[in-house]
Amino acid sequence: MAWQKVATQGDVGDGAVIQVTVGGRQIALYRVGGEIFATDNICTHAFACLHEGYLDGHTIECPLHQGVFDIRTGEPLEGPVDEPLPIFPVRTEGDDILIDI
Ligand code: FES
């Protein structure tokens, strides 16, 4: 595990989710209420990119079969998903956003 810079503050607006790639792994980066969260970007149900889904508060709805995850815990909440989504610790250093991956 190592902290890596993945984005800067201006890259992800409030209520938005973006995709970043770290060491070949796709990560979804979210900002909700000024707080930043990071999860795997690939749904645990099948191959779908969560950054193309619907972010509603602290939940992300998968665009393929509408499975829903809590982005704070990775817990599956609704739909066909039953495997949790990996999550990653986030911290900021000035303008930089880092995740521990
Ligand atoms: Fe995400 Fe099926 S691929 S719910």
- Which range of residues forms the domain containing residue 51? 3-100
Q: Is the pLDDT of residue 79 over 70?
A: yes
Is 62's C-beta closer than 6 angstroms to any atom of ligand 1? yes
**Number of structural domains in the chain:** 1
Give tens-digit pLDDT for 34-56: 999 999 999 999 999 999 999 99
CA–CA dist 67, 14 (Å, integer): 22
Give tens-digit pLDDT for 18-29: 999 998 999 999
Is 65's C-beta closer than 6 angstroms to any atom of ligand 1? yes
Looking at the CA of residue 47, tell me the nearest atom of ligand 1: 3
Looking at the CA of residue 79, tell me the nearest atom of ligand 1: 4
CA–CA dist 38, 23 (Å, integer): 15
CA–CA dist 36, 97 (Å, integer): 8
Is 89's C-beta closer than 6 angstroms to any atom of ligand 1? no
Global confidence as pTM: 0.95
Mean pLDDT of the residues in the chain? 97
CA–CA dist 79, 19 (Å, integer): 23
Is 12's C-beta closer than 6 angstroms to any atom of ligand 1? no
36's tokens = 């930043």
Q: Is the pLDDT of residue 1 over 90?
A: no
Which residue puts its alpha carbon closest to atom 3 of ligand 1? Answer: 46
Per-residue confidence band for 32, with pLDDT thresholds at 50, 70 and 90: very high
CA–CA dist 4, 2 (Å, integer): 6
Contact 70, 84 (CB under 8 A): no
In CATH, what number is assigned to the domain containing residue 25? 2.102.10.10
